[in-house]
Amino acid sequence: MIIEVNLPEEYCIIKDEQEIRIILASSLYDKGVIALGYAAESVGLEKRTLIEEMGKYNVHVLKLNDNDIQRILKNARNN
């Protein structure tokens, strides 16, 4: 799917098209719409590079709920 969005330059503080693509892919990943691999591929970056870029926008790659955290802590105490 190709979507074209016209952003008025006078209102757009981000001028770099690649940065806008990264923000969009990061947001879609964060919402669970697309996988990390596809997000990276769609903006032409390696996964690791996209992960680093996502950090700039407070998008976290690890999605842990309370149960996950409790399990990790329990396993850490047992080792």
Give residue-wise pLDDT tens across range 7-44. Answer: 787 877 877 889 989 999 999 999 989 999 999 999 99
Lookup: tokens for 32: 């669970």
**Given pLDDT bands bounded at 50, 70 and 90, which one contains residue 69?**
confident
- The DSSP H or E segment spanning 50 is helix 47-55
How far is it, in rounded angstroms, from Cα 54 to Cα 25?
A: 9
Residue with tokens 């923000």: 23
The answer to whether 45 touches 51, Cβ cutoff 8 Å, is no
- Of residues 69 and 38, which shows the higher confidence score? 38
User: What pLDDT does 4 receive?
Assistant: 82
